[in-house]
Amino acid sequence: MSKKRLQVILTDEAWSAVESVTKDATEKFESGSINYSDVINEMILTAKVDVKALQLKHTDLRRSLKVLAGKDDIDIEMAIKSLMELKARGGSSKKKASATQEEMY
């Protein structure tokens, strides 16, 4: 079996989920051993990712506007609908991060 190493950064929420599953899996399990890598591999293999929601969550509003502006044949109604959807979801995470930093000062 080929193994790959990858360093990832987990949110507090994701790490909590990994710890919880690891604790449940190792508690009273004496027939073998289970580590964080085993748990994370299983979580990845059984995960169902909503790709559209993931893309929307990480969409950069400024970049979206630049892409729309660069197109020759844009559907104005579709562009407005897309932008309204982004606005309803709260915009990009970069925008939120800069707003949070501004609130700190």
* Whether 85 contacts 55, CB under 8 Å: no
Containing structural domain, residue 69: 54-94
Whether residue 101 lies inside any domain: the answer is no
Are residues 58 and 90 located together in one domain of the fold? yes
Residue 78: band (very low, low, confident or very high) from pLDDT cuts 50, 70, 90: confident
Residue 53, pLDDT score: 86
* pLDDT tens-digit readout, 58-75: 888 888 888 888 888 888
User: Token digits for 65?
Assistant: 């506007």
Residues 70-98: what's their mean pLDDT?
71
Are residues 35 and 58 located together in one domain of the fold? no
Residue 65, pLDDT score: 81
Are residues 79 and 60 located together in one domain of the fold? yes
Are residues 63 and 84 located together in one domain of the fold? yes
State how far the Cα of 72 lies from the Cα of 69, in Å rounded to an integer: 8
This prediction's pTM: 0.62
State how far the Cα of 16 lies from the Cα of 34, in Å rounded to an integer: 17
The count of domains in the chain is 2
As a whole number, the mean pLDDT across the chain is 83
State how far the Cα of 25 lies from the Cα of 94, in Å rounded to an integer: 36
State how far the Cα of 89 lies from the Cα of 57, in Å rounded to an integer: 8
Are residues 60 and 81 located together in one domain of the fold? yes
